[in-house]
């Protein structure tokens, strides 16, 4: 646990370093609870959207794998446009908890409206609003964490955050799996509403005064008044950050459609009610694997370096896509989906850590996350449409193998082009600090 013995380093008015205590026990526990309860809310309906539209609405209302994929792509594209502005908002905000609460309410209300919407454009619009609101959570949680514990304890605390996030996803998915048998796919909407209320309570438990807004943006106190550049300018000024954004794009282009595609396949194999329960169990299993993976990353990444761990995530992702087509048996699909816990568990824990490495001391941490997350969201948005079109034209096996090949391409790019950013590599930020010359690629 992160407790008061963690030291945060700031600067006094004369520019001298001053040590500040880490988060109080209340703040640390509140951050644990926030990551746990917000886990399901931050991702919206996710794979349940595909199951609901196919199983409840169905082809008779015009919903096929392709139209579902288009809805998810539209929502993803809308959400990615909000990524960089969301990061800039978190960097400039002096009341980050209020932004988290507003985002949780917005995601929940848009998802609860879905059962009352049948038109393609209304469904796409509601999910687009949910995606825009959801763009707030990653930079907000990372910024709040950095503002509470400081840069030295950040990697370990992010690992803990991700562990509670995955545990929260596992518990909510387990509840959905058990209750969907009785109430059907609609149960996930009401579960989300309950979790949103609990996440608001958790956010209120973190004392706002303990969040250092200067540290939260990755800036030292003596440079706090420098102008912050746009996310796009900052991304283009750094070759390592640009490469990292491209690898994130490929990871999500490969990964994002795998679980929804599995859910669609299960809908035809076992029926709609069983599919909802099975996909929930798939999520539970994967999330349970992600918990120890996130803890391991937080504990070992400073010693082992970021790059070798990230390469494992890409390798497992490509392997997972190649294994799906071997059988349509529900137990096989369930077993293969468990591998998602390795790849996604590593990615979730390392993503903010690598961005923090590349932007250390610049004050551009959250806007950098937004810029890279834009590329990440672009990959996720196109992933659903690519898979949907391939399924309709060539079948599920071809879709899974295509997603696997994309993951393999990401592995090669990270292996040969991405430098080590942690303890085994450079200690200097790859993004130039305010007022300095641009780092040449």
* pLDDT (tens digit per residue) in 157-179: 999 999 999 888 888 877 877 78
In angstroms, the CA 155 to CA 176 distance is 31
* Dihedral pair phi/psi, residue 159, rounded to 5°: -60, -40
In angstroms, the CA 197 to CA 16 distance is 42
In angstroms, the CA 403 to CA 426 distance is 32
Which has the closest alpha carbon to 414: 240, 264, 273, 204? 240
* Dihedral pair phi/psi, residue 18, rounded to 5°: -130, 140
Number of H helices, E strands in the chain: 19, 2
The band of 47, judged by pLDDT with boundaries at 50, 70 and 90, is low
- pLDDT of 113 over the 60 cut: yes
For residue 350, give the H/E element and its range.
helix 340-359
For residue 302, give the H/E element and its range.
helix 272-304
**β-pair partners for 153:** none
Residue range 286-317, pLDDT digits in tens: 888 888 999 999 999 988 999 999 999 999 99
The band of 273, judged by pLDDT with boundaries at 50, 70 and 90, is low
* Dihedral pair phi/psi, residue 339, rounded to 5°: -65, -20
**β-pair partners for 10:** 18
The band of 216, judged by pLDDT with boundaries at 50, 70 and 90, is confident
**β-pair partners for 9:** 19
Say how many C-beta atoms besides its own lie within 10 A of residue 98's C-beta.
12
- Which region among 47-61, 150-164, 168-182, 403-417 has the lowest average model confidence (pLDDT)? 47-61
Angle value at C-alpha 137, between 198 and 36, nearest 5 degrees: 40
In angstroms, the CA 226 to CA 229 distance is 9
**β-pair partners for 11:** 17
Say how many C-beta atoms besides its own lie within 10 A of residue 134's C-beta.
24
User: What are the DSSP calls for 6-37, one per residue?
Assistant: -EEEEE-TTS-EEEEE---HHHHHHHHHHHHH
In angstroms, the CA 53 to CA 287 distance is 24
Burial class (CB in 10 A: 0-12, 13-18, 19+), 13: exposed
The band of 423, judged by pLDDT with boundaries at 50, 70 and 90, is low
In angstroms, the CA 367 to CA 117 distance is 34
- pLDDT of 142 over the 80 cut: yes
What proportion of the chain, given as a percentage, has pLDDT over 90? 35
Average pLDDT, the chain: 82
User: What are the DSSP calls for 181-246, one per residue?
Assistant: HHH-TTHHHHHHHHHHHHHHHHHHHS-GGG--HHHHTT--GGGTTSPPPPHHHHHHT-HHHHHHHH
Which carries the bigger pLDDT value, residue 298 or residue 429? 298
Question: What is the three-class DSSP state of 226?
Answer: coil
Q: How far is CA 109 from the centre of its chain?
A: 20
Q: Which residue carries 């707030």 as its tokens?
A: 136
Q: Which residue carries 């454009």 as its tokens?
A: 121
- pLDDT of 12 over the 60 cut: no
pLDDT of 313: 96
Residue range 357-412, pLDDT digits in tens: 988 877 778 888 888 888 887 888 789 889 989 999 999 999 999 999 999 999 99
The band of 208, judged by pLDDT with boundaries at 50, 70 and 90, is very high
pLDDT of 296: 93
- Which region among 70-79, 222-231, 367-376 has the lowest average model confidence (pLDDT)? 222-231
pLDDT of 10: 44
Token pair in block for residue 65: 């794998």
Mean pLDDT, to the nearest integer, of 230-252? 82
Which carries the bigger pLDDT value, residue 259 or residue 183? 259
Which has the closest alpha carbon to 334: 387, 269, 393, 272? 269
- pLDDT of 240 over the 60 cut: yes
The band of 11, judged by pLDDT with boundaries at 50, 70 and 90, is very low
């Amino acid at each position: 646990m992160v407790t008061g013995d963690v030291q945060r380093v700031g600067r006094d008015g004369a520019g001298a370093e001053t040590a500040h205590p880490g988060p109080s026990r209340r703040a640390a526990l509140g951050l644990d609870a926030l990551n746990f309860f917000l886990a399901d809310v931050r991702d919206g309906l996710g794979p349940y959207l595909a199951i609901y539209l196919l199983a409840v609405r169905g082809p008779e209302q015009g919903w096929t794998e392709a139209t579902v994929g288009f809805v998810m792509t539209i929502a993803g594209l809308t959400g990615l446009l909000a990524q960089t502005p969301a990061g800039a908002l978190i960097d400039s905000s002096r009341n980050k908890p209020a932004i988290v609460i507003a985002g949780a309410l917005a995601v929940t209300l848009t998802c609860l409206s879905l059962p009352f919407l049948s038109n393609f454009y209304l469904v796409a619009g509601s999910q687009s609003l949910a995606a825009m609101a959801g763009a707030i959570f990653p930079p907000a949680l990372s910024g709040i964490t950095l503002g509470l514990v400081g840069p030295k304890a950040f990697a370990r605390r992010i690992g803990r955050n991700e562990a509670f996030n995955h545990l929260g996803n596992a518990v909510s998915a387990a509840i959905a799996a058990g209750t969907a048998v009785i109430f059907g796919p609609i149960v996930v909407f009401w579960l989300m509403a309950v979790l949103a209320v609990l996440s608001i309570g958790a956010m209120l438990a973190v004392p706002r005064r303990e969040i250092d807004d200067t540290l939260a943006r990755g800036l030292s106190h003596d440079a706090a008044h420098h102008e912050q550049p746009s996310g796009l300018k900052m991304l283009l000024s750094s070759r390592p950050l640009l490469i990292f954004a491209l690898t994130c794009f490929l990871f999500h282009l490969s990964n994002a459609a795998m679980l929804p595609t599995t859910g669609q396949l299960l809908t035809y194999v076992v029926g709609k009610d069983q599919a909802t329960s099975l996909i929930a169990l798939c999520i539970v299993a994967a999330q349970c694997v992600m918990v120890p993976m996130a803890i391991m990353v937080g504990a070992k990444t400073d010693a082992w370096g970021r790059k070798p761990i990230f390469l494992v995530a890409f390798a497992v992702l490509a392997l997972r896509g190649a294994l799906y087509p071997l059988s349509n048996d529900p137990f096989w699909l369930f077993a293969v989906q468990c591998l998602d816990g390795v790849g996604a568990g590593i990615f979730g824990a390392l993503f903010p850590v690598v961005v923090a490495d590349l932007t250390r001391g610049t004050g551009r941490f959250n806007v950098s996350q937004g810029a890279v997350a834009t590329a990440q969201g672009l990959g996720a948005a196109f992933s659903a449409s690519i898979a949907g079109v391939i399924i309709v034209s060539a079948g599920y096996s071809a879709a899974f193998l295509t997603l696997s090949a994309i993951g393999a391409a990401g592995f090669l790019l990270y292996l040969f082009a991405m430098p080590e950013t942690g303890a085994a590599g450079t200690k200097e930020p790859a993004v130039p600090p305010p007022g300095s010359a641009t780092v040449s690629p």
